[in-house]
Amino acid sequence: MQSAAMLSFDAIALDTLAALDEEALDTLPFGVVGLSSEGNVEVYNATEAKLAGLPRDTVVGTHYFSVTAQCMNNFMVAQRLEDEAEIDATIDYVLTLRMRPTPVRLRLLKARRMERRFILIDR
Amino acid sequence: MATDIETENTALLQFLYACPAGLVEFSAAGVIGMINPAAMGLLLPMAGRPFVANLFDVFEGCAPELRNMVQQFAAPQGTICEGHRIITGRGARSSVLACSVSKLTEDRYVATLSDVTEQVARERRLKQAETWFASLLDGIDDVAVLSIDATGCIDAAMPSATRQTGFAETELVGRCFAAFDRPDRASATLQPGEAIAVARRDGWHLHEGWHALADGGRYWCQRLIALRHPSDGVAQGFAMILRAVTRQHRDAADLRRMLTRDHLTGASNRAHFFETAERQILRSLRDGTPLALVLLDVDLFKRVNDEHGHAAGDAVLREVARRCEAGLRPEDLFARLGGEEFVALMPEASLSAASVVAERLRASLAAQQMEAGGIPLRITASFGCSALGGGITSLADLLAAADGALYVAKRTGRDRVVASDPGQAAA
């Protein structure tokens, strides 16, 4: 069992995240979105589903930046995930969760050794 | 198991998340209540910081008129604007948004936003063609036909031309067609030879403006210059067709004022400034004449708004614009760039000449208090000056250099004029 500190928004490592099963991901207190290299949603945890107001099964399989998160489809988020080979960056951002402007922190995670990339959302 | 209402709720949310047009709901003070991702995607780069809470704040820099339009809309509900064009950013990085605003109640408004940058470029060209088709459909009677040679000299005038302008054929033939233009400050001015060059390149050129009458007066007309297809492949003459526009001159002047003036201060607006400045800079670079730019920013303006309200702030901006325009020459272009920032483009002026003028403007603001809703306020502004040359070769360069100087003026105590260092221009 991992310690709570290791599973925090700021500390959790990409490999830890990738190893967690669906149930464990759902217990995390922040949003987790995992994307394929084409940008399709593969992981969408319970916290994120609750924040966005969208059940997991309606989001998984869709193209994240065109269907659900147009406001991240820019040079600050989508373009960075596309262009940079390795990222572990935390940025201040504002999302429109359930159409409310909501200040959040985003953590972008991507590594050469792994196809899947992650966006963590802490509000 | 999700209930019907939950399922519908999800579908509605997905619809709003995926909507390609931006939607914003906001209060009379501009505070954003609801906003969809497309709108946030458009506003975030404009805000320049990762927090967007007030629509008017975001637009303060590029469309300050929006707040005035909302506040001046007296009806209890209705459409405030439809497809209002907002130019964001500067120079090459600028994009155009179309914004529509509806008032629902005294404190509830909905706006739609979409990026129409590419559409605008296409439209400009289409509009010209449309104007021409409209003139064909509207009757041939008030159309005057002339023939001009490859150099722009009138070589023949049909009776329709003498009837419309009052000039005899002998007064027209042999003279350059442009000699009959009567441009004023509000109408777009063309560079010499521009109409002929475009007509040669594209086959046609359309222009709308004042044209001389024999009695010394002028009339507003649409002018088409069309390349005549040479039968021998050499002749490069043009047909020129003038169409008197019959609508009231006053309406046309109002329309032009609306398109080129800032709603609040009456100074030129951003769109007009960027269009005219680009043209002026090309002309100065081509002719090797000097050109200077002065950027000015009202000091501690936020404090005026916070302490005395937006109405006082608006009165201050109007007075700043009035005093500055009074201190500039008619050929200088004075515009509100956004918020409390103004710019003056000064043809034929060197950096030192512009600094002298800026110092005079600074003194005219500082010397006398301003009346803002019955409250006398002491208002000052900081000035940054730049000029073409020494690595400064574009509007973006001029603005960046003046911005740098303005920053120094602010940092070293405000209420002062700083000229950019020509040696550091490229930095």
Mean per-residue pLDDT for B89-97? 71
Residue B132 lies in a domain: no
* Partners of residue A67 in chain B, C-beta under 8 Å: 14, 17-18
Residues in chain B with CB shorter than 8 Å from the CB of A92 are 50-51
Q: How far apart are CA B385 and CA B344, in angstroms?
A: 9
Contact residues for B42 (Cβ-Cβ < 8 A; gap 6+): B22, B97, B113, B114, B115
Q: Mark which residues 99-118 of B lie under 8 Å from A by CB.
A: none
DSSP B73-95: --SSSEEEEEEEEEEESSGGG-E
Residue A59 DSSP code: H
pLDDT digits (tens, 9 = 90+) for B22-76: 999 999 999 999 999 999 988 887 877 767 889 999 998 888 889 999 999 999 9
Tell me, yes or no, whether B75 lies in a domain: yes
B34 in contact with chain A, both atoms CB, cutoff 8 A: yes
Q: Is B222 on the interface with A (CB under 8 A)?
A: no
Higher per-residue confidence, B5 vs A41? A41
Task: Indicate whether B224 and B166 sit together in one domain.
Answer: yes
- Please report, for residues A27, B154, B227, B275, the alpha-carbon distance to residue B91 in angstroms, rounded to integers and kept in the order given: 49, 38, 32, 10
Q: Which residues from chain B sit within 8 angstroms of residue A69, using beta carbons?
A: 17, 37
A71 to chain B, closest Cα gap in Å: 4
Across the beta sheet with B95-105, the strand order is: B32-35, B22-26, B108-115, B95-105, B78-88
Could you tell me the residue range of the domain that residue B326 belongs to? Answer: 260-424
Shared domain check, B348 and B221 = no
B315, B182: one domain = no
Q: Could you report the per-residue pLDDT of B370-406, keeping only the tens digit for each? A: 988 788 999 999 999 999 998 899 999 999 999 999 9
Verify whether the Cβ–Cβ distance A54 to B44 is below 8 Å.
no
pLDDT per position as a tens digit, B304-344: 989 998 889 999 999 999 999 999 988 899 999 988 999 99
pLDDT in tens, A12-57: 999 999 999 999 999 999 999 999 999 999 999 999 999 999 999 9
Query: Do B275 and B341 lie in a common domain?
Result: yes
Which pLDDT value is given to residue B426?
41
**Contact status, residue A101 vs residue B22, Cβ threshold 8 Å:** no
CA atoms within 13 A on the CB side of B271: 21
A71:B44 CB<8 A: yes
Write the CA distances from B273 to A40, B261, B393, integer angstroms.
Answer: 44, 9, 17
Task: Determine the pLDDT at residue B425.
Answer: 43
Residues B147 and B16 in one domain: no
Domains contained in chain B, number? 3
| Cα gap A68→A77, rounded to integer Å | 14
B52:A98 CB<8 A: no
**DSSP element (H, E) containing B338:** strand B333-338
Cα B269 to the center of its chain, rounded Å = 4
Q: Where are the domains of chain A?
A: 30-122
By C-alpha distance, the chain B residue nearest A63 is: B18
CB contact (8 A) between residue A74 and residue B35: no
pLDDT at position B87 over 90: no
The answer, yes or no, to whether residue B230 has pLDDT greater than 70, is no
Q: Do B41 and A70 touch (CB under 8 A)?
A: yes
- Is there a domain that residue B121 lies in? no
Say which DSSP state B414 is in: S
B175: CATH = 3.30.450.20
Chain A: residues touching B (Cβ < 8 Å): 52-55, 58, 66-74, 76, 91-96, 98-101, 103
Distance (Å) from the alpha carbon of A33 to chain B's nearest alpha carbon: 16
Q: Which of A55, A66, A93 sits opposite B50 (nearest CB)?
A: A93
Window 36-95 of B: residues touching A by CB (8 A cutoff) are 36-41, 44-45, 50-53
Bridge-partner residues for A105, per DSSP? A92, A122
State whether B148 and B274 are in the same domain. no
Mean pLDDT over B115-136 rounds to 69
Q: Give start and end residues of each alpha helix (H) in A20-111.
A: 22-27, 46-52, 56-59, 78-83
Q: Kindly report the average pLDDT of chain B as a whole number.
A: 86
Task: Specify whether the CB–CB gap between B88 and B77 falls below 8 A.
Answer: no
Token output for A110: 């991507």
Residue B248 has pLDDT above 50, yes or no: no
In whole angstroms, give the CA distance from residue B193 to residue B200.
Answer: 11
Please answer yes or no on whether B13 and A96 come within 8 Å at the CB atom: no
The Cα of B95 is separated from the nearest Cα of chain A by a number of Å equal to 15
CATH value at residue B314: 3.30.70.270
Contact at CB, A71 and B41, closer than 8 angstroms: yes
Would B124 be classed as within a structural domain? Answer: no
B274 and B328 both lie in a single domain: yes
The CATH classification of domain A30-122, taken from the options 2.70.98.10, 3.60.15.10, 3.40.50.2300, 3.30.450.20? 3.30.450.20
**For testing contact with chain A, the best of B17, B42, B52 (most A CBs within 10 A):** B17
Contact at CB, A53 and B18, closer than 8 angstroms:
no
Same domain, B220 and B313: no
Tokens of A106: 């985003």
Q: Where are the alpha helices (DSSP H) in chain A?
A: 14-19, 22-27, 46-52, 56-59, 78-83
Are residues B14 and A54, on separate chains, in Cβ contact within 8 Å? yes
Q: Do B147 and B187 fall into the same domain?
A: yes
- Which residue type, as a one-letter code, is found at position B308? H
Position B129 scores a pLDDT of: 66
Q: Are B318 and B264 in contact (CB under 8 A)?
A: yes
